[in-house]
Structure 1
Amino acid sequence: MNVTRTLATARRVLRQLSHDPRTIALLLLVPVFLLVLLYYVFDADRQSFDGIGASLLGIFPLVTMFLVTSIATLRERTSGTLERLLSMPLAKADLIGGYALAFGLLAVVQAAVATGTAIWLLDLDMAGSPWLLLLVALLDALLGTALGLFVSAFAASEFQVVQFMPAVIFPQILLCGLFAPRGSMQPVLEAISNVLPMSYAVDGMNEVLRHSDPTGDYVRDLAVVLGSALLVLALGAATLRRRTV
């Protein structure tokens, strides 16, 4: 992996995204809007907002980064940009690392804005440090980026990318413990939820909500989310095909 080439790839992706204000709005403003909307939905029940709000801080980064990354990468695949890049002396690790770095930087801003809004504007009540929430959100955004890179290889259009949402994202949202404790689900569903990374992102957020210091479960949750992201990034690299002439 060449650091210079990786940084050059990241700069190119960020330059392209800077010309797409709708994407920036999707990343930064939509999570904030949904958090504010949820705050007023639970206006008479602040305790419910605290629990669901913390969980959503672990879900929003994954969902938005999945959408943005998958669509942006699909455009480069269908336009031939990736094919041209892979005909150059650019390693797959440089390409994947550059994408992960570029979208990771966006994820830092997104997670910071959403977390700051929840804590200081909406007064989210939690026992732990805001930095612990932010760390989970960043790893979850990395996972969303990895899933987007991987899924883009199996879509022929942006519409097909959106069709992957019900298959890849929605089951994780339903089974992550947002709507019901995972332990109260049917045993089969609980077993499935135990292997879905979003479940551990939500658990990590709830650990910060309840405990003032990092717990063993919190560290486990971080490790699972990070390990899942690295695994999917490796799978995404495997979908890249280098052509020789």
Structure 2
Amino acid sequence: MTATLSRPAGPKPLRCYIATTVRILRQLRADPRTVAMILLVPALLMTLLYFVYKNYPAIPGAPRLFDRIGITMLGVLPFVVMFLITAIAMQRERVSGTLERLMTTPLSKLDLLGGYGTAFSIAAAAQAAIACGVAFWLLDLQAAGSPLLVGLIAVVDAVLGVSLGLLASAFARTEFQAVQFMPVIVLPQFFLCGLLVPRGQLPGWLEAVSNVLPLSYAVDALQQVSTHTGVTGLMWRDLAVVAGFAAVALGLGAATLRRRTA
């Protein structure tokens, strides 16, 4: 009889992915300052925004300015905070040599970035829950739709920030360079998402640019919740677009991740 050679079984992809996720969550737990920034900064900024607009005169029959701006910021702030923290954390792993050591193992790039994405997305869900809780129950933010829908959109926005942060970190060589991507990736989306000026009132070429930026769809989804008592097809479409952008960014991050730091 011919003997069959059995190939040694490598690490299971699911096991690698779960192990990476658990490792990142443990690292986060051991870093109280990062945890505080993730969980508290959006809620504190929402509180600051409330006091900024507290005495602003409201037009009779129109929503308060805080209600109009605040519901949008519940999507923007998690996106910005998670982008910044994820890009720096991933770059710190690269500079410390941890990433290079991991990439010499059979761990795939997608397992690695998937673990990072999942760990930070869990933190993002806690962040969105706290920010929405403070906004709706302590600051009396008013919206026609359910606060749970706002929380769902905020979580997806935060996951988008995580994915873009991972993608940006692939092109940075230092933590400072990772931070420098923020004005390139985040600020144009903030200016063109419809928060400062309705997108329909932008010059034609800027409106065309805003139509391909994911934060524009996140803001549109939040505006649907703010003006409709139930879910709408447009809200689900916009949310799906944001989730699609996050998935593509994660895939591009895996494709561009270097196995060596230099």
TM-score, normalised to structure 1's length?
Answer: 0.96
Deviates more, 1:66-75 or 1:149-158: 149-158
Q: Which residue of 1 aligns with 2:257?
A: 240
Residues 93-118 of structure 1 deviation map (CA, whole Å, 9 limit, x = unaligned): 21111111100100010000001111
Q: Which residue of 2 aligns with 1:19?
A: 30
1:193 to 183, 200, 210: 210
1:79 to 76, 88, 96: 96
Q: How far is the alpha carbon of 1:242 from its aligned partner?
A: 4.2
Residues 79-99 of structure 1 deviation map (CA, whole Å, 9 limit, x = unaligned): 221121121121222111111
Consecutive unaligned residues of structure 2, counting only runs of 5 or more, are 1-11, 59-63
1:150 to 167, 172, 192: 167
Q: How far apart are the structure 2 equivalents of 1:92 and 1:153?
A: 11
1:96 to 106, 113, 119: 113
Q: Amino acid of the residue matched to residue 124 of structure 1? A: L
Q: Which residue of 2 aligns with 1:3?
A: 14
Q: Which residue of 1 aligns with 2:192?
A: 175
SS of corresponding position for 1:154: coil
CA root-mean-square deviation:
1.3
SS of corresponding position for 2:170: helix
Q: Which residue of 2 aligns with 1:126?
A: 143
Q: How far apart are the structure 2 equivalents of 1:145 and 1:31?
A: 15
- Any conservation in 1 of the 2:113–2:254 contact (CA below 8 Å)? yes
Q: Which runs of 4+ in 1 moved over 3 A?
A: none
Q: How far apart are the structure 2 equivalents of 1:154 and 1:93?
A: 17
Residues 146-203 of structure 1 deviation map (CA, whole Å, 9 limit, x = unaligned): 1111111111221111111111100000010111111111111111111100011111
Q: How far apart are the structure 2 equivalents of 1:74 and 1:14?
A: 17
Aligned residues: 243
1:41 to 23, 48, 52: 52
Identity of aligned residues (%): 56
SS of corresponding position for 1:10: helix
Q: Which residue of 2 aligns with 1:221?
A: 238
- Any conservation in 1 of the 2:78–2:128 contact (CA below 8 Å)? yes
Q: Which residue of 1 aligns with 2:152?
A: 135
Verify: 1:69 aligned to 2:83, yes or no.
no
Q: Amino acid of the residue matched to residue 9 of structure 1? A: T
Q: How far is the alpha carbon of 1:2 from its aligned partner?
A: 2.1
TM-score, normalised to structure 2's length?
Answer: 0.90
Deviates more, 1:37-46 or 1:150-159: 37-46
Q: How far apart are the structure 2 equivalents of 1:40 and 1:90?
A: 48
- Any conservation in 1 of the 2:43–2:134 contact (CA below 8 Å)? yes
Structure number with higher helix proportion: 1
1:212 to 229, 241, 258: 229
Q: Which residue of 2 aligns with 1:115?
A: 132
SS of corresponding position for 1:117: helix
Q: How far is the alpha carbon of 1:125 from its aligned partner?
A: 0.7
Q: Amino acid of the residue matched to residue 22 of structure 2? A: R
Q: How far apart are the structure 1 equivalents of 2:259 and 2:177?
A: 24
Q: Amino acid of the residue matched to residue 193 of structure 1? A: S
